[in-house]
Amino acid sequence: MNIVVCIKQVPDTTDVKINPETNTLIREGVDSIINPFDTYAIEEGLRIKEKLGGEVIVMTMGPPQAESVLREALSMGCGEAILLTDRNFAGADTWATSYTLSRGIKKIGEVDLIICGKQAIDGDTAQVGPGIAEMLDIPCITYTGKIKDIDENGFTALRMTESGHNVIKSPLPALITVVKEINEPRMPSLRGKMNAKKADITHYTAADLACNLESIGQLGSPTVVRKIFAPPAKGKGEIFKGEPADTAEKLAAELKDKGIV
């Protein structure tokens, strides 16, 4: 089973700051970590490999500093790490990010399963996993909380919903995005950390991936950020007290008055 886990390097803070001129995140001076949801993706990949054999390849698109999160993934037990890095990848929106990662996965060759986190804690769109699946034309199961009965032909996934879960059978190759309920990520061993420090990391540029330059980075990003602002804080609202029938009447009158109904 060849498994690719896509991980993103994110700022180790929830207090993200925006550059008002470029409307992008200010990443300088902030420590970076593996996107927390992606550690669950790594763990799931490792568990499947331990059961069925094969390899777990970890991949990220980012600047050269993103090597540090790849080394962390190697220290957990991934066998190979790939960094997609090129100045031409900069300024990518989720479309261009998905395209670039899909080119990286194609470059590997035969891949059975791709695992992503459910979303990144900085960008938060949850679009990249489904975007990769679309570009590779393979099935995608989002919000996976459990994988059952996996073998070389396919698997059953429990897809978490607000009210329970869907049971979905899928053939391979496929892509899943995972939620925290799926497992408990392992801590890297000391030996794993030592090996990861000196491990080779494969670098691929846009040319290595034969990327169409108009599909990557800022040039390949159809998203335009017009304005970024903090939404006004919600007021306390109004509480109607009294008998239910009177309260309902007051509420209906108020909603009518405000033109809501």
Ligand X SMILES: Cc1cc2nc3c(=O)[nH]c(=O)nc-3n(C[C@H](O)[C@H](O)[C@H](O)COP(=O)(O)OP(=O)(O)OC[C@H]3O[C@@H](n4cnc5c(N)ncnc54)[C@H](O)[C@@H]3O)c2cc1C
CB of 232 to ligand X, least distance (A): 23
Residue 17 CB, nearest approach to ligand X (Å): 14
Q: Which is nearer to ligand X, 198 or 226 (CB)?
A: 226
Closest contact distance (angstroms) between CB of 10 and ligand X is 8
Match 């995140």 to its residue by tokens: 25
Nearer to ligand X, 41 or 211 (CB): 41
Identity of the amino acid at 240: F
DSSP code at position 233: P
Q: Least CB distance from residue 249 to ligand X, whole Å?
A: 45
Interface residue list for ligand X (CB under 6 A): 6-8, 24, 35, 37-38, 41, 60-62, 90-94, 97, 101, 116-117, 119-120, 122-129, 221, 223, 225
DSSP string, 20-71: TTTTEE--TTS-EEE-HHHHHHHHHHHHHHHHH--EEEEEEES-GGGHHHHH
Going by C-alpha positions, the residue among 11, 102, 114 that lies closest to residue 65 is: 11
Burial class of residue 52 (count of CB atoms within 10 Å of its CB; 0-12, 13-18, 19+): middle
Question: By C-beta, is 88 or 97 nearer to ligand X?
Answer: 97
Task: Count other C-beta atoms under 10 Å from residue 128's C-beta.
Answer: 25
By beta-carbon proximity to ligand X, the closer residue of 1 and 176 is 176
DSSP letters of 127-164?
-HHHHHHHHHT--EEEEEEEEES--SSEEEEEEEETTE
- CB nearer ligand X, residue 60 or residue 75: 60
CB of 134 to ligand X, least distance (A): 12
Measured from the CB atom, is 164 or 196 closer to ligand X?
A: 196
- The Cα–Cα gap between 184 and 122 comes to 22
CB of 27 to ligand X, least distance (A): 7
Radius of gyration of the chain (CA): 22
